[in-house]
Structures are given as structure tokens and as C-alpha cells.
Amino acid sequence: MVDATAPTAAAEAKVAVRDLTIRYGDHVALKDVTLDIRENEIFGIIGPANSGKTSFLRALNRMDTFTPGMHVEGEIRFAGHDIRKINNLYALRKRIGVVFPLPVGLPLSVYDNVALSPRLSGVKKRADLDVIVERCLRRAALWDEVKDRLKSLGSLLSGGQQQRLTIARALSQEPDLLLLDEFSIAVDPVTTMRIEDVLKELKEEVTIVLVTNLVQQARRLADRTAFFLTGECVEIAETEAYFDGRVKDTRSSDYVEGRFG
């Protein structure tokens, strides 16, 4: 079996994390995490609440800059660059899209929700914006449902539609890396499956990090999965190894099989 825990060669790693420790005051949320996320893979992160999963995503996108008391140690390299040394946070976040557990709808029309980032990047022509908005809404499996109400407020869409609008807005940045934090927590099962189908297609273009409490969702989507527990990265393995007895740590199999968590 290929050792999925071993760091990959630098040329293969989209994200390289070394000795990452995250603290909130005196509380250690994550300790000494070392892992690589490969180009064009869906990298799953599973584990019970308070395991450090969301803190890990925050560190990848430098959200600690705006999180009081959050302190990050160690090295995170994205596309070969140390993100702690990147001064232009807007440029970094343009390349790293984030989708949170609950839809974060802006008080704008459906069209303007998706067009906001391109406009901020300098796209002014309406024809160019039209192309971007339609492309992103199609990629988020939402175009057919909203194409006749693009001027309506995004907040008037259903919860599942708003979450897909959030994904479309993230894609409008043309990110290289997409971070998903429990994207389906407030979405019905049918919509969840539609979004999962979208993600399977997107990984041909974008590297995806998927935080989920649903181990079967990780099984459906993730190429490799890390198991976090009380601030420790217990194990990283090919996702199917968690389900066929090939993981090394019994805590991993115990969690996946529902014996705790």
C-alpha cells in the first residue's frame, strides 16, 4: 500500500504544511501537524467536534489575521510560497476560495453576488461579467434554477440554493484552492448530492480541502483523508483504507465505525 502519510515531493504538493501548531490564548487547538495536499485532489478532513479541523482551514487562508487570540506557528506553503510571508492578503485569498457551513449571502442580487469578485478584480464590461456569472452558476449547478431571477436578492433563495450561490461566488475568484467547511450542514440530502457531483467535476480544475463530520461523505468524495482528534492529526490515508481495515491507528477505525465521536 502506498504510504499516504509520507510528504510528497515539493513539485507535487499544492499545499505543504510543516509542524503547524495553532493556539487560542493558552488553548492548543492543533499541534505539530505535517501533511501535503496534492494538486487536483479532494483532501478530506474528518474528526469529532473540537478536533482542530476548522482551525486548520483558517490557517490555510490566513484568517488568523482577523481572529483575536489565534496564534499560528509552523510553515504553510501554498503553490511553493510561504503564506506567512505574503503581504497582499487579497491576492492570496483570491486564489483560495472558502465555503462556510452556513450560506453567507451578501445583501445583493444573485447576479451581483457572483459578479462582486470579478468587479473588484477590474472586470467592468457587462458582457464579460455575464459570461463569468453564467459560467460560475452553471459550475455550481444553479444556473437553470435562477437564470430568470438574476436580479432578485440572493437571500430569497432556498437554503440549498444559497449554499450553491456561495460556491458560485467562491468560484468567481477563479481559485486554485477551494476550502469547504461542513458545506452540507444546512442543506437537504438531494441538494447535498448535487453539490457533491459538482465537486467531483471541479477537482479537475481546483484542489479541494473538504472538512466534514460525515464519514460517508468523505468516502464518496475524498481521494485521501486525514483524521483529526483533540488537536492531533492521527493519520492520513487513502480514504478507502478507513473502511477496509488498512488504517494503522485503531482510533481511526473506531471513529469511522461509530464507536465514538
pLDDT of residue 255: 95
d(CA 146, CA 59): 34
Instruction: Establish if 3 belongs to a structural domain.
Output: no
Burial (Cβ within 10 Å: 0-12, 13-18, ≥19) of residue 183: buried
Instruction: Establish if 261 belongs to a structural domain.
Output: no
The count of domains in the chain is 1
pLDDT of residue 89: 85
Instruction: Establish if 48 belongs to a structural domain.
Output: yes
Instruction: Establish if 5 belongs to a structural domain.
Output: no
Residue 124, SS3 per DSSP: coil
Instruction: Establish if 79 belongs to a structural domain.
Output: yes
Beta bridge partners of 36: 16
What CATH number is given to the structural domain containing 128?
Answer: 3.40.50.300
**pLDDT tens across the length of the chain (261 residues):** 335 555 554 447 899 999 999 999 999 999 999 999 999 999 999 999 999 999 999 999 998 888 889 999 999 999 999 999 988 888 888 899 999 887 777 899 999 999 999 999 899 999 999 999 999 999 888 999 999 999 999 999 998 899 899 999 999 999 999 999 998 887 888 888 988 998 998 898 899 999 999 999 999 999 999 999 999 999 999 999 999 989 999 999 999 998 887
Total residues belonging to the chain: 261
pLDDT of residue 11: 43
Residue 139, SS3 per DSSP: helix
Listed in sequence order, the DSSP H helices in 79-188 are: 89-95, 110-120, 126-139, 143-146, 159-171
Task: Note down the domain range covering 89.
Answer: 10-256
At residue 22's C-alpha, the angle toward residues 19 and 26, to 5°, is 125
pLDDT of residue 9: 47
Instruction: Establish if 116 belongs to a structural domain.
Output: yes
